């Protein structure tokens, strides 16, 4: 039995039904000529969401991605150092000393998965620093994802690949030059490393790395050029935080701050969230609240699945891909 058929046979109510509704709404939005942005919070790349997200990119089921700096780099960490990762299935039982022991072995834990510092972070640093310095010396400036596109398209990292390249969503994005927006990139491992190299003088101009404000400007330009009444842009949000909060604000910014009243609202909205809908949590805000901020409209299709994104997102993507 196909995955899609199984889900439709068994996912009938509550959050299960919302999975089906959001997936069918996603398909309908694309079939009607719409575009889709996916936003990645949390540690989706370390969770190896790239296995199915790469296929979504290959099949043109996503036209833009907004993600944290961590998700941007962690897909490449996994690409070049997968064999050195360690899984800790009993992570809930770890003592503080157990955690210290992992640190002493240069293993940085993300829930049940440890990223190897030397094989992942330092290996990538040696390569990316060359590209940062080359741009710096030439007086050029690029966004974080553009530096990665240069590196991936150069083939310089191929000698280190430890997974099937087709399972890297960043590789697929680089092939298509997919628009990516990375707000708050400085809150990432390579963001910290870049800062260190600026402080030490290895990089002379801090603005060799383009900023979050410039990302918003780029997003505003892309949205204005891409969104039309006949082809609106949908918003599929995985988790919360800045990965979702930053890009969804582009619409009210265009309307209220730039007075571009002809720009359409987001044409579809779905969020997978485990955040409680209460206590002023933006990530837990129900979609209707976004109407009051000028982000969604009364008639915008809206879906919320309150669950674990590592479980739910691959299922929704499976339906979109007709698995």
Given pLDDT bands bounded at 50, 70 and 90, which one contains residue 273?
A: confident
Average pLDDT over residues 248-257: 97
Q: Measured at the alpha carbon of residue 172, what is the angle toward residues 170 and 174, in degrees to the nearest 5?
A: 70
**Band (285; pLDDT cuts 50, 70, 90):** confident
Alpha carbons 276 and 169: distance in angstroms, whole number:
29
> Mean pLDDT for the chain?
95
Instruction: Give me the mean pLDDT over the 82-86 stretch.
Output: 97
Name the domain count of the chain: 1
pLDDT band at 94 (very low <50, low <70, confident <90, very high): very high
Residue 1 has pLDDT above 90, yes or no: no
Share of the chain above pLDDT 70, in %: 97
What pLDDT sits at residue 303? Answer: 96
CATH label of the domain that carries residue 183: 3.40.910.10
Portion of the chain with pLDDT greater than 90, in percent: 93
What does the alpha-carbon distance between residue 177 and residue 150 come to, in Å, rounded to a whole number?
10
Helix (H) or strand (E) holding 305: strand 302-306
CA-CA distance, 29 to 138, in Å (whole number)?
A: 43
SS3 47: coil
Number of H helices, E strands in the chain: 14, 9
pLDDT tens-digit map of 170-186:
999 999 999 999 999 99
pLDDT tens, position by position, 101-150: 999 999 999 999 999 999 999 889 999 999 999 999 999 999 999 999 99
Question: What's residue 287's pLDDT?
Answer: 87
Could you tell me whether strands 233-238 and 35-40 are parallel, antiparallel, or unpaired per DSSP bridges?
A: parallel
Q: Can you tell me the mean pLDDT for 201-205?
A: 98
Which pLDDT does position 286 carry in this prediction? Answer: 80
Q: Which two tokens stand for residue 178?
A: 């997919």
The set of residues, in sequence order, having a beta carbon less than 8 Å from that of 39 and lying 6+ positions away, is 65, 66, 67, 235, 236, 237, 238, 239, 243, 244, 247
pLDDT the model gives residue 274: 80
pLDDT in tens, 225-248: 999 999 999 999 999 899 999 999
What pLDDT, on the 0 to 100 scale, is given for residue 278?
62
Domain hosting residue 305, numbered range: 3-321
Mean pLDDT, residues 202-225: 98
pTM above 0.85, yes or no: yes
- 114-146 CB burial, b ≥16 within 10 A, e <16: bbbbebbbebbbeebbebbeebbeeeeebbbbb
How far apart are the C-alpha atoms of 131 and 117, rounded to whole Å? Answer: 20
Q: What are 267's two structure tokens?
A: 């044409």
Given this model, what pLDDT does residue 165 score?
97
Q: Is the pLDDT of residue 16 over 90?
A: yes
46 CB neighbour count, 10 Å cutoff: 22
> Any residues with CB less than 8 A from the CB of 170 and at least 6 apart, and which?
50, 72, 75, 76, 79, 148, 152
Query: Is the model's pLDDT at 281 over the cut of 70?
Result: no
């Amino acid at each position: 039995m196909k995955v899609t058929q199984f889900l439709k046979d068994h996912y009938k109510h509550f959050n299960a039904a919302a999975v089906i509704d959001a997936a069918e709404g996603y398909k309908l939005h694309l079939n009607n000529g719409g575009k889709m942005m996916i936003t990645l919070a949390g540690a989706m790349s370390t969770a190896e969401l790239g296995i199915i997200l790469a296929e979504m990119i290959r099949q043109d089921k996503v036209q833009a991605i907004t993600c944290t700096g961590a998700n941007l780099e962690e897909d490449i960490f996994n690409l070049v150092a997968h064999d050195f990762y360690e899984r800790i299935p009993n992570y809930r039982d770890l003592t503080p000393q157990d955690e210290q022991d992992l640190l002493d072995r240069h293993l940085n834990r993300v829930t049940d998965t440890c990223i190897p510092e030397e094989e992942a972070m330092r290996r990538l640093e040696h390569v990316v620093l060359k590209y940062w310095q080359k741009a710096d010396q030439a007086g050029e400036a690029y966004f974080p994802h553009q530096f990665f596109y240069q590196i991936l398209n150069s083939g310089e990292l191929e000698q280190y690949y430890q997974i099937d390249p087709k399972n890297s969503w960043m590789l697929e994005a680089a092939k298509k030059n997919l628009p990516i927006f990375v707000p708050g990139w400085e809150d990432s491992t390579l963001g910290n490393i870049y800062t260190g190299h600026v402080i030490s003088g290895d990089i002379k101009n801090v603005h060799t790395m383009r900023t979050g404000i410039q990302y918003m400007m780029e997003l505003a330009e892309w949205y204005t050029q891409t969104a039309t009444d006949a082809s609106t842009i949908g918003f599929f949000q995985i988790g919360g935080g800045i990965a979702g909060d930053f890009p969804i604000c582009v619409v009210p910014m265009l309307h209220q701050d730039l007075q571009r009243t002809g720009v359409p609202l987001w044409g579809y909205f779905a969020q997978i969230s485990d955040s409680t809908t209460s206590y002023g949590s933006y990530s837990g805000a129900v979609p209707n609240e976004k109407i009051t901020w000028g982000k969604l409209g009364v008639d915008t299709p809206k879906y919320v699945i309150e669950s674990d994104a590592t479980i739910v997102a691959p299922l929704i993507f499976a339906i979109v891909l007709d698995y």
